[in-house]
Every structure is written in structure tokens, then in C-alpha cells.
A and B are shown apart, each in its own frame.
Chain A
Amino acid sequence: MTAHTFIFQGETLLALPSGGLFWPAQRVICVSDLHLGKSDRMARRGGPLLPPYETIATLDRLAQDIAATDPATVICLGDSFDDVTAAETLADAPKDRLSTLMAGRRWVWISGNHDPGPINLGGTHLADYRHGRLVFRHIAAPPATGEVSGHYHPKARLVLRGRRLSRPCFLFDRDRLILPAYGAYTGGLFCDRPALAELMASGAEAILLGTPPIRLPMPR
């Protein structure tokens, strides 16, 4: 797999091209902001009827990562569903797909701002989750250290010899690591925007998704 290997809090981690994070020593895979059921929620609210395939597209991607890494623990870092109704009304096909993926693994649902309530899909539901030296939660909560979070959907943009390029990315500094959104229908927030630029310490780095992912000083 063409992942990028980096060290965070003394732990060796892999940034996967899909936007997932793999921790080989602990056999943990972590994905953030799946936003399953997004098209359904938009239709329900009288919005546009988008192609209803993002749930299956996202689960396909997750299945590939799980098949490649064979994790013992899967952590979904919040906003796994676009809202509570989306979780409750998940269609049978994706539900079965999810059950297959969950079978034989520890599965942790961290609650996010979109899906705070309980989910009837099995697995463990937590506001945050500590595993070894790392703590997993949805939204970064300074001054925590060793914190892995999501929520912001970070993206980086840069200009290379006059050409503009923008990709989703991981962001990390000494204390915190922020994952890109994993869901198919997700936009992003540029890391030079104040919300992210002020959150990340100076010297922070970015890993841009791609094959392979590419590591840069975080664009500001």
C-alpha cells in the first residue's frame, strides 16, 4: 500500500491515500467524518435529489482499507452519519455491509456534532476514547496532547509553478493530529483559514492525500 509513514507522539502511524489513519503496532484503523446518509438527509429536507450512492461509495472504500490492513480495532471519529435519522433509517444493503465489516473487530463510534445520539448498529459508543498514548475525539480540544480528531475536513491548497492544486490532507503538530473527511460527499476547509491556522502550532505539517500521500509544511 502506498501509504505515508510518520511519527506522532512517538508512535509510528500510516496516512492512507483514502484519508484513513492506520496504527500498525496496535492494529487500529481510524476514519473520520463518514457522513453516511448525506444525500438522503438533503432530500428529506427538501433539498436536491443527489445521486444516492455516497453511503455505498464510502463503505466500499472502508472495506478496501480494512481488507488491506486487517485491523483489530476500527475507530469512527464522529459525524459517521449525517444525522441521527440517517443512522436510524440506514437501508438494508449498507447495513448488512457494515455488519460484515464490524464482525470480529472492536468497533468504536465516537459521537460527533451531526450524530450525537445512540446508534442501533452495535459497537461501542463513546464521546472520546483513549488507546495507549493517543486519545480519539471528534473535535480538537486544546490543550490536550496526543489527540486525534476530525470535524474540520482539512484541505490544503498550494501553487506549483503557476498551477493551483488543492487536496484533502492530514494536519499534525506536536500535540494534535487532524484527519481529513473520509466520506464521499464531503467538502473541506482550507488549512490557511483561521479556524485551522490558529489551532495548529507553528511547525505543523500537512500530508496531502494522493498516491502516494505527500508531506509538506502546513500551508498558511
Chain B
Amino acid sequence: MTRALPPQITGWFDSRGWSIHPHQQAMLDRADQPCQLLIAPTGGGKTMAGFLPTLADLADGSHQGLHTLYVSPLKALAADIKRNLTGPITEMGLPIRVEDRTGDTSSHTKRRQRADPPHILLTTPESLALLVSYSDADRIFAGLKRIIVDEIHALAESKRGDQLMLALSRLSTLAPGLRRVGLSATVEDPAAIARILACHPDPCDILQADPGPDPDIAMLTIEAPPPWSGGGGKYAISAVLAEIKKHRTTLIFHNTRAQAELFFHHLWLANDDQLPIGIHHGALAREQREKVEQAMVEGRLRAIVCTGSLDLGIDWGDVDLVIQIGAPKNVKRLVQRIGRANHRYNAPSKALIVPANRFEVIECTAALDAVRAHQLDGDTDHTGPLDVLCQHILIRACAGPFRADELFEEVRQTGAYADLARETFDRCLEFAATGGYALRAYDQWQRLIQGPDGQWQLRDPRRAARIRMNIGTIVDADKMQVRYQKTRGGAPLGEVEEYFAAALRKGDTFLIGGQIVRFEGLREMVVEVSRTPTQKPKIATFMGTKFATSTQLSDRILEMFRQSDWPGLPQHTRDWLALQRKISRLPERDRLLVETFPHDGREHLVAYGFAGRNAQQTLGLLITQRMEGMGLNPMGFVATDYATLIWGLDRLDDPRPLFSRDNLVETMEAWLADNAVMKRTFKGSAIIAGLIERNQPGAARKSGRQATFSTDILYDTLRKYDPGHIMLAITRTEAMRGLVDFGRIEGMLARIAGRIDHVRLPRVSPLAAPLFLEPGRIPIAGMADQRLLEAEAARLMTTAGLVP
């Protein structure tokens, strides 16, 4: 059945000489499906396809209150959609009010939106979770008809996505008959996404749009060879500048904020023609971001240096080139970014990749092959994490009393929690209510109590405010605001991680928002800086997110290594691989290459596992643990996506026992329990589950630090006195699939099945050399630590003229 559009809308299309895309019409025809997933390439008019049924419904002006909720993973995307929706709505003369609501919305506007919601509300998962927690949520959402989840592929495997889907299960109860629409870019496994989106047991229908032409994508040819290590891509500045000049508008993507900052800085130093170039990333202050977005919309910028904050579906119109600096860690992300260029449907997108270092030349080549072969990274099975569920239970309690049975049923409508056992749910509820300890300590202070009618509710309603302050599932390092000093409330520049701020000394200079600033001091958790005429920042800059290379990309690289020569690679990289083959050998997929050599007075071991950064890091922890047991005094290690480098005091003759699978899981469990990765994971989950509060009322942090103590202590205490506690179980599950990535290590060890090639070398091998330049070295707190500490103590005491 073809559904007709109201005349205002068809007239608008006709007046522009546009016709409705087939998938837009198909979405309109299926507007009554309980759940509909649309897979379409970027630029395919996906958003319009999602909104057309809403516009048609609202055209006669009869609907009162909220009709459609739109959720996107990014604040910027919500703002962008508002612009792109308001224009046509005004031109069509439709009586529709569109507003956005994100962390950036003023509290005044937020209050008004609750009392008088618009027809279409554009928001983010966190803002929605907050809305759902209000006691008037039932009134706000009562008339809700449709919910559109944009860029759902980006949320699918994340805790933000889990939280969003739990919020949706709430909405489906508050507004029976609510229809769900998911908009996704091209993915390998649409059924997996449909399962996440569906309101179980209802099905989710999948609609595939024409994928459009293949992108025009290549490696940027640069005269100079890339450096051996690092991720900045500074060597490519002039080549990139030349490309910017050749195109109308260029987006330049970086994998981390830090790299974006540095690149932007160097770009401007070389920008002799004063081309208008902006920077955009998530750590910048809202005012800064909005300025750049506005300039971009008005076509005043020739280029934007950016990170993932611009990654998702933002329609800037006139972009005709995308440059990716540094290897994309998974192929899906690369395709997404390429989609940014040229939003005209059915015209190929143009993109250039700039490898940031020598190894990335190989990685980029492999990624390009994958794109041409249409092989995207596969999705993994996803079961809903329990820390997010614990938070959801608290959010539910904020909205008012509830029955455990009803909440359990509601939660099980969510794909990721469809198989949740009642017993597990009850443990989470118990945790939310009392802390869930074996020792019953908080009976009189518990958070949730069960009323005489059997309903659960907050013991003290005032606690709702504290819970709301801690809603969210993104647990980064603690952030601190950066502002210009001068007067009270100097202009905000953005944020830096707290540990970065803690290491600053007065007079240090660093980059933020493309400015070099001088650190003046800390005032009440604000980093105060001043302008400085310095040309070169003294402190490199703050950290960004690190992604692991996907299995699929790693396999492609190993496949490439099997070639006898590499005519497709630039000469420098070709020579590098040939030299490695001559001096040592190249890693193979079904074998494990282990090199050992002395360097700088220490023994070194490199294991080329190609298991991705997180798994290689875990491998480093595992192997050093075994080395410690063998008395080899390991001192530390560093991991990249393809190898782990370990250094220590003593020489290793036979690496085989180190990589044996015997007792691997047991060894793993035993030492994992006491390890920094677990403690970091514990902290993240403890914050999400509400065991500890990141934000407290009044933000009253005491000036002296005696009051705060490390979450490591909580972890150790639980392990000793309450080893069966649910937070430990959650931590273990999280670590195994997250930072630890144990599955990939097991997979790798199973694949090599003991086939270990040990090469003893007199010095560093060509492939190992870049590892020495890698940041992120991890020390081993074993006997070597105490030895060094004692030596340092003796040295200091002697220097100070004291006798130890």
C-alpha cells in the first residue's frame, strides 16, 4: 500500500524538482510497523526517510504534545538535525514545533520543555535517561507516537546504546503503541542491530536502501616517508594543505583529540594563504564548537580538523573531500567517515588516507583493500551489561514506586537483556536497594525500600537529585575545565583530563582549541591559563581515546605479509618489510613470532600477536607475570595493535613455556584479580552502577585531599571480605571483554597451537624498532620495582648527606 503525503509536503518536493527516494516512500508505507530499521548509506536522505511519516502525521495540526522523539549519539547531531528539519518545515508551512534537548540546553528551556513539550524533541541517550527519571515522565510521554534512533550502528555495541534501549522499554510502557525507527549506516549484520532495537517479542522489520556507488578512496601520496612512530601526521602538512586548496571544503579526521590539536596547530603555522580552517572536537567548550559549526554551515570554512565528534551523519552540505589522518582502526569507521564527503546521493564520495607512521602505511593499505572488497567488520554478540541495568533501576526509582515483576518484564523487552535471568535481575535490584553486601549493614540507610504494597521506592526522595546527577555511562578520566585567567569567569576553552592537569606546573604551555596557553594555576577544579606568545607547546597535550584494530584488519595485514614483494606499498615501507624478512622474519597468521635481543643494557622480548591493543596489553601482563614467576625480573612492557614489547633484567632462552595455554584461564583469573586493569574496570563499573558517585551535590570537594580515597581500596576490600559481591562479577565480565579482551588472546593462542618461532637477534629488529618510541609503557610492580626503589632511596639519602 502506497501512503500519500499531504499536499504541503508533496508541493515542497515538487517546487524543488525533487522526488522522494524509493526507501523514503517505503518508510512511509511502513509507518505503522512496531519497529523498523532502515539501512542506508550516508547522504541517502536517511533522516528525511525517518521523519517523513512524522511530518505527514503532524501536518493537520491536530496532535497535541510530544509526537516524535529523536535520539542521536551526539549533541552536535541533534543541533544539526534541528537546523535541517526546521528549514523544510517552515518552507512547507507545517504547524510543527521542533526543539532539541541536550547537556548544552539551558535549565530554563529544559523546565519549559517538560511543562510544554514540542511536537518533535531531538535529544541524546543521556538526556533521555534523565527525562525518563522525572516523576512526570508519564505525562510528558503519554501521547508519544514515534521514536527515531539515528546512527544506531554507533550505539549498538555500547553502554550508551544499552541505556538508551532500557529507556525505550520504559517509553513503550508509558506510551503503548509507540513505534520505533532505527536509522543505520551500512553494517555487516543488520539482524544484530534489529535485535537490539526491537521491543521483544515484537519483531523488527529491516529495510535496505540502495547502497549507492563505491567511494573514490586512495592513500595520499607524499614525497617524504612517514616517521617510524607517533600518530600526528605532521610530515603530511604541506600535502594536506595543497589538497585543501584544490577542494571546496575538506574534513580532516583524527583518531584522538590530542592529535587533532597538534595537527591543527601545525597546519596554521604552514597556512601562508590564511585559508579559513577550524577545529572541532568533543573536549572543546560548547561556545567554541558552536562557532565552528555555524561557520561551517554558512560555508565560511575551507577545512575542519576534527575527531569522532563530527563522525556521525552530520550534514554539512558542501564537503567534497575527507582526509583521514592515521589508520582507521576498523573499516566500518573508515566507510562512515568517507560518507561525510559529498552528501549528494548516488555520487561517489572522495577520500584520502594519510598514514601517520610506517606501520600505518601497511594498515591503511589493508583497510583500503577491505573497503574495495566491501568487507566491513563484523558485529559481535552483545549481552547487556549489569552496571547499566543497576543504573536503570535507580533511574526507574527516581520516577516513582515500581513493582519488581513489572520492571523485570519491561527490561526483558530490550534485546540486550532479553535473556536476563530473574535471579540476576534480583541481585541488581538488591544492589541498588541495599548495596547487596553479604554483611547486612545498611538496613536503616538503604537506598530503596519496599512499601507495604510491595512496591519499591526511594527511602528518601531527596536522593533522586543525587542519582540524576550521576546518570550516564561514559566514564572517562575525570575532566577539568580550562579557562582564561583574567577575571572571574574568563572565557572557557574546553576540558583536560584531571591527571593531565595534576602534572602541570606553573609556566607549562600546552595546546587546547588550537591555542597555545600557559598554565597559571588551579582554582576550584578549574584550570586557569593565560595567552602566551610561545611557538611551541612545552607539554605535548592531553590523551585521547585509543581504539583497537579489528580482527578483520589484522588478518588482512598478516595476509599481506605472505607476499614475496609489495609493489603496492611505497618504496620506504617495502624496503622496511624486506629488511625485516632478511634479518628476522615476518609474522604469520598461524604462528607466533617471538624475537629476543639485548638493547640498552636490558633484555627485550617482542611477541607479534596481532590481537589488537587491548589484547596485546593483556598478553603483556600475562607474560610478565609468568616471567616474574620464572625469576626473569621483567620491568615493564608496551603494547600496540600488533605486538607487545617486554623488557627486563634477565635473558630468556626458551619462550615456549610463556605462551603455553595450560592453566591460562586459571593463571589469568588469579593474577587478574590483583591487577591494575581490573581496578580501572572496577572503577568504571562502580561509577555506572552507582556504587560511587562521581558528582555530588554542591560539588563540595574538600580542599585537602584526605577525604577522598582511591576506588582501588574498595576493590581490595570487597575481594577480601565479600568475594561473591555482584560488583566483582560485573568487573570480571567487563574486563574480559573490554580492556582485557581475553577472547582474542585465547583465539590467537588456539590458532598458533604452540607453533612459536623464536628468533634470537644481536640487536633490535626493523619491525621492533618503532615499539621503542611508543608511549604508554606499563611498569611491573614486581621485585624489580622494590629493587629500583631501594636503589633510588640510597642515592637520594647519599646525595642529601644522610646515612640510610
Contacts and interface: CB of A to CB of B under 8 A. Distances in A.
A216 B442 contact: no
B692 A48 contact: yes
Contacts of A91: 441
Nearest to B709: A187
B445 A163 contact: no
B721 interface: yes
Nearest to A186: B709
A214 B709 contact: no
A161 interface: yes
Contacts of A8: none
Given A53-B721, A163-B779, A187-B709, A46 B460 contact: yes
Contacts of B696: 47
Given A48-B691, A53-B717, A57-B721, A160 B792 contact: yes
A190 B786 CA distance: 21
Interface string B422-443: 0000000000001101010110
B793 interface: yes
Interface string A179-217: 001001111111001010000000101001010001111
A162 B635 CA distance: 12
B710 A52 contact: no
Given A49-B434, A51-B725, A184 B713 contact: yes
A91 B788 CA distance: 44
A53 B723 CA distance: 12
Contact of A46 (B434, B466, B692, B709): B466
B446 A46 contact: no
Contact of B788 (A160, A181, A195, A217): A160
Given A57-B720, A160-B788, A50 B445 contact: no
B796 A187 contact: no
Nearest to A207: B793
Contacts of B705: 187-190, 193
Interface of B: 434-435, 437, 439, 441-442, 445-447, 460, 462-463, 466, 636, 690-693, 696, 704-710, 713-714, 717-718, 720-722, 725, 777, 779, 786, 788-790, 792-793, 796-797, 800, 802, 804
Nearest to B715: A51
A216 B691 contact: no
B709 A49 contact: no
Interface in A85-120: 91
A195 B717 contact: no
Interface residues of A, number: 42
A193 B522 CA distance: 13
B706 A186 contact: yes
A48 to B, nearest CB: 5
A137 interface: no
Given A48-B692, A51-B718, A160-B788, 4 more contacts: A51-B721, A52-B439, A52-B442, A91-B441
A190 B706 CA distance: 9
A121 B793 CA distance: 42
Interface of A: 39-40, 43-44, 46-54, 56-57, 91, 152-153, 158, 160-163, 165, 181, 184-190, 193, 195, 203, 205, 208, 210, 214-217
Residue of A47, A50, A187, A193 ringed by the most chain B CB atoms within 10 A? A50
The 7 closest A-B pairs by CB, nearest first: A49-B435, A52-B441, A187-B709, A53-B721, A43-B445, A153-B706, A163-B779
Contacts of B437: 51-53
Contacts of A153: 706
B435 A216 contact: no
Contacts of A49: 434-435, 442, 445-447, 691
A8 to B, nearest CB: 14
Contacts of B708: 187
A52 B439 CA distance: 7
A48 B717 CA distance: 16
Contact of A189 (B446, B704, B797): B704
A111 B208 CA distance: 73
A47 to B, nearest CB: 7
27 contacts: A46-B466, A47-B693, A49-B447, A50-B692, A51-B717, A52-B435, A52-B437, A52-B442, A53-B437, A53-B718, A56-B721, A57-B717, A152-B706, A158-B792, A162-B777, A163-B779, A185-B717, A189-B705, A189-B706, A195-B704, A205-B802, A210-B786, A210-B789, A214-B789, A215-B797, A216-B796, A216-B797
